[in-house]
A and B are shown apart, each in its own frame.
Chain A
Amino acid sequence: MSREAQVDLTRLIAGALAIVTFSIVALVVMPYFLTRTTTRPAKPAPYTTAQQAGRAVYIANGCIYCHSQQPRDPSVAPDQQRGWGRPSVPADYVHDEPHLLGTMRTGPDLFNIAVRQPSRDWHLGHLYQPRAYMAQSIMPAYPFFFEERTGPAQAGEVVVKLPPGAAPAGVRIVAKAEAIALVDYLLSLDHTYPVRTGRNAGAAP
């Protein structure tokens, strides 16, 4: 083994480690300390057990691949004009593990969906068949969150109220636990409370 190749190799390993360490410090460690110091605010309230279960349904079924949860500053995009809410700040995400900021808006931002659509019936029906509410929607239908029942009503079942013609005749559409939990979570998405704003609160200028 030549000495020159040995020097090359040492340089390679040292350099590769130095560079990756630098990037970890800049993009992982510093954000960790900077956002950790955010004092825990009164709002948002921690998720309830039911909301947490719904959040798990949101994750398991990949809602994140079409919906973001990060309204942007009015100087960047008209998110606020669309009714999606004020620009979000790090404190809004204090209970979020994993984060669900999202990278696509094939569908609208959901950070304040509870404000825009506070109706549980609407959400359940929309999950069952989005096109019954918005003809041009390309959101998938989630029939597996529901079951079709006939016969006498059972205690505690949540029957979905659908627009006429959206469900097969002669059956009633009953929401399963996943659907109810998911809607509980969606109805918790209300970040309209006031926050301290400014650069340190994290809204990108």
Chain B
Amino acid sequence: MSFTIGLLVVTFFASLGGLGLFIWSMSNGLFGPESAASRVIFGAKEIGLAEEPAAASVAGQNALQETMNRTGHTGEFSVLTAEEANERLIQDASGKWPVLLCIGFAVAWLVMASVFGLVASIKLHVPDWLTGQAWLSFGRIRPAHLNSVAYGWCSLAAFGVALWLMPRLLRTPLVGAKTAAAGAVLWGLGVSSGIIAVLAGQSTGLEWLEFPWQCDVPMVIGGTMMGVALLRTLRNRAVEHLYVSVWYIAAGLIWLPILITVANWPGVHRGVSQAAMNWWYGHNVLGLWFTPIGLAAIYYFIPKVLGKPIHSYNLSLVGFWTLAFFYSQVGGHHLIGGPVPGWIISLSIVQSVMMIVPVTAVAINQHRTSWGHLGALRDSPTLRFIVLGGMMYTLASVQGSIESLRVVNTVTHFTHYTVAHAHLGLYGFFSMVMFGSIYFMLPRVLDWEWPSHRLISLHFWLVMIGFATYFIGLSIGGWLQGLAMLDASKPFIESVVITKPYLLVRTLGGSLMTLGHLVFALHVGLMLTRRGAVKRGPTLLRTRSYTPGSAGLALGGSGA
């Protein structure tokens, strides 16, 4: 025991020292004048103006602006000039095709993934359902679900958001939109072939890495093409400062190909060291790919919709580096109690707990920025999804830190509790943030308003209630399962029986989520085919101004 504690302490101080050294060497300029960098996402005098293309008509955007005025954040005279509106219009439209391809594929995969997930969930409490064909068996549908979520829905949505955000953040049109569009198609083809391979029984057997390498090739090429377009845009930038979202997106784009390459390197991974690699990858694809993109979106959209810079720009950069440093080493906590050297586990536990640092940085920034303006959630669909997604990021991360502690992990390891936790991260946090981002982006990209605000509300409530049901039910079930498994006096089957009602609750929640996704997919479909009455309100970027004391926004002509 004392050896374990000694190991933990040494690991703790070594990593703390390492991080201190790292931040010190990176900190030159980090604590410079921060207001300039946090204002880079606004026009010269735009602060104080709300922007929400998904608002319900002009009245909706006015209501949002009034909410912001009432909560009194600036009192400045705020204006978006014709020139600025024009530039932003060009930036928003510059990535039209790659963005639409990414989001279109992503939403299609979301629906597929939901169906796979629901089938897998039902099979766990109706085990004799659909057992006739191999491709429909649980052991194939379940990895099909995970991979279509991770590489179909989440990754393509992430690319779509990155391709749309970067031109705005760098104030320059996307360079190489055609290359990026071709990349999106290649990625989509890779994912499709990978899912077919998994269903056909060609899985590699490694969790998160199930696709045969032949299917990874088009994904890597496609991802690189999108990455190259973004990096070329970065080189072409017209801004003085790199906003924190740029840091997250650019780093994510650098990390993803490294992760995939190392994980798929032929001929070196086997046995226990492969298990260590497997969880290094499995956790880093979350920490160094989805999380950075999700946080980039949070750091952009919350201040943008509210018309208010983030609370502390420097804190956001400290959060960035600590996230990268700690998160990249947490994977080993999936092997607690397993046949791996103790120091790997200790290192991972220490870093998992240290994740509290970046998470607190994000939480302070997010909540201090949106606090006091929660009324704006009523008027802005984007904020509704993103603020809740941000809250679930905090929850998921704190839960993850606690879960890595041996005393908790002993109960939760190998149980459905972990599954619920994974969904809090990738669904509660990441998917919610992507929903919000898509509601903001598509009206600008398509120059068309969302046909129905009822459908947006329906989507929101279905997935929120569905997810709450899913998460709470499965967490309780998983915890009871873990306790039963630890009790040697109970036969193993009792740990199975105890979960059955909760597995049913999971199916219930999952059904509501799937229904919500169908509503969302239908709405995106209506949007892409430009259904609905012509409404040209908040969708259009136009010169706008707000004078303190006036009733609402003064809208000029279209910026186009």
Cβ contacts under 8 Å, A18 to chain B:
22
Contact A76–B241 (Cβ < 8 Å): no
Contacting residue for A61 out of B137, B270, B338, CB 8 A: B137
Of B42-50, B185-193, B359-367, B484-492, the one with at least 4 CB within 8 A of chain A: B484-492
Contact A98–B205 (Cβ < 8 Å): yes
Contact A205–B342 (Cβ < 8 Å): yes
Give the size range of B's interface with the partner: 35 or more
Contacting residue for A62 out of B143, B272, B338, CB 8 A: B143
Contact B203–A62 (Cβ < 8 Å): yes
Cβ contacts under 8 Å, A92 to chain B:
339
In the bound complex, how far is the Cα of B144 from the Cα of A174, in angstroms?
Answer: 29
Contact B271–A28 (Cβ < 8 Å): no
Contact A59–B414 (Cβ < 8 Å): no
Among A87, A101, A130, A202, chain B packs the most CB atoms within 10 A around the CB of A101
Interface membership of B275, Cβ < 8 A: yes
Contact B139–A62 (Cβ < 8 Å): yes
Given A13-B254, A144-B134, A96:B271 Cβ within 8 A: yes
Contact B237–A5 (Cβ < 8 Å): yes
Contacting residue for B262 out of A24, A89, A100, CB 8 A: A24
Given A27-B280, A64-B207, A103:B339 Cβ within 8 A: no
Q: Kindly provide the distance from the CB of A115 to the nearest chain B CB, expressed in whole angstroms.
A: 15
In the bound complex, how far is the Cα of B37 from the Cα of A2, in angstroms?
Answer: 13
Cβ contacts under 8 Å, B497 to chain A:
136
A100 nearest in chain B by CB position: B205
Q: Kindly provide the distance from the CB of A74 to the nearest chain B CB, expressed in whole angstroms.
A: 10
Contact B493–A31 (Cβ < 8 Å): no
Contact A15–B22 (Cβ < 8 Å): yes
Cβ contacts under 8 Å, B134 to chain A:
60-61, 144
Given A27-B277, A81-B488, A202:B410 Cβ within 8 A: no
A130 nearest in chain B by CB position: B127
Interface membership of A117, Cβ < 8 A: no
Binary CB contact string for chain B from 332 to 344 against chain A (1 if under 8 A, 0 otherwise): 1011111111101
Q: Kindly provide the distance from the CB of B497 to the nearest chain A CB, expressed in whole angstroms.
A: 5
Given A24-B262, A28-B276, A76:B337 Cβ within 8 A: yes
A87 nearest in chain B by CB position: B339
User: How many residues of chain A are within 8 Å of chain B by beta carbon?
Assistant: 83
Contact B271–A144 (Cβ < 8 Å): no
Contact B251–A12 (Cβ < 8 Å): yes
Contact A139–B127 (Cβ < 8 Å): yes
Cβ contacts under 8 Å, A81 to chain B:
488
Interface membership of B26, Cβ < 8 A: yes
Given A31-B276, A31-B277, A20:B340 Cβ within 8 A: no
Interface membership of B142, Cβ < 8 A: yes
Interface membership of A119, Cβ < 8 A: no
Given A18-B22, A138-B124, A35:B271 Cβ within 8 A: yes
Contact A99–B271 (Cβ < 8 Å): yes
Q: Kindly provide the distance from the CB of A80 to the nearest chain B CB, expressed in whole angstroms.
A: 9
Contact A2–B240 (Cβ < 8 Å): yes
Q: Kindly provide the distance from the CB of B158 to the nearest chain A CB, expressed in whole angstroms.
A: 17
In the bound complex, how far is the Cα of B500 from the Cα of A98, in angstroms?
Answer: 31
B2 nearest in chain A by CB position: A205
Interface membership of A149, Cβ < 8 A: no
Cβ contacts under 8 Å, B271 to chain A:
35, 90, 93-97, 99
- List B470-489 residues whose CB lies under 8 Å from chain A: 485-488
Contact A99–B496 (Cβ < 8 Å): no
In the bound complex, how far is the Cα of B415 from the Cα of A77, in angstroms?
Answer: 13
Given A78-B488, A96-B270, A137-B493, A143:B132 Cβ within 8 A: yes
In the bound complex, how far is the Cα of B485 from the Cα of A107, in angstroms?
Answer: 11
Interface membership of B533, Cβ < 8 A: no
Contact B203–A22 (Cβ < 8 Å): no
Interface membership of B534, Cβ < 8 A: no
Contact A131–B251 (Cβ < 8 Å): no
Cβ contacts under 8 Å, A98 to chain B:
204-206, 269-270, 274
- List B324-358 residues whose CB lies under 8 Å from chain A: 324-325, 328-329, 331-332, 334-342, 344-345, 347-348
In the bound complex, how far is the Cα of B3 from the Cα of A17, in angstroms?
Answer: 33
Cβ contacts under 8 Å, B345 to chain A:
204
Interface membership of A106, Cβ < 8 A: yes
In the bound complex, how far is the Cα of B329 from the Cα of A24, in angstroms?
Answer: 9
Known: A64-B205, A104-B414. 14 other contacts (CB 8 A): A8-B29, A11-B26, A12-B247, A15-B321, A24-B280, A26-B344, A34-B341, A59-B205, A60-B202, A76-B336, A90-B273, A103-B414, A108-B492, A202-B339
Q: What are 15 A-B interface contacts by the 8 Å CB criterion?
A: A8-B241, A26-B347, A27-B277, A28-B276, A31-B272, A31-B340, A62-B139, A78-B488, A82-B488, A104-B419, A106-B124, A142-B137, A202-B339, A203-B339, A205-B3
A interface residues (Cβ-Cβ under 8 A, vs B): 1-2, 4-5, 7-9, 11-13, 15-20, 22-24, 26-28, 30-32, 34-36, 59-66, 68, 70, 72-73, 76-78, 81-82, 87-90, 92-108, 130-131, 134, 136-144, 199, 202-205
B interface residues (Cβ-Cβ under 8 A, vs A): 1, 3-4, 18, 22, 26, 29, 123-125, 127-128, 131-134, 137-140, 142-143, 201-207, 234-235, 237, 239-242, 247, 250-251, 254-255, 258-259, 262, 268-280, 284, 288, 321, 324-325, 328-329, 331-332, 334-342, 344-345, 347-348, 406, 410, 414-416, 418-419, 485-488, 492-493, 495-497, 500, 503
5 tightest Cβ-Cβ pairs between the two chains A and B:
A62-B139, A60-B201, A23-B328, A78-B488, A59-B205
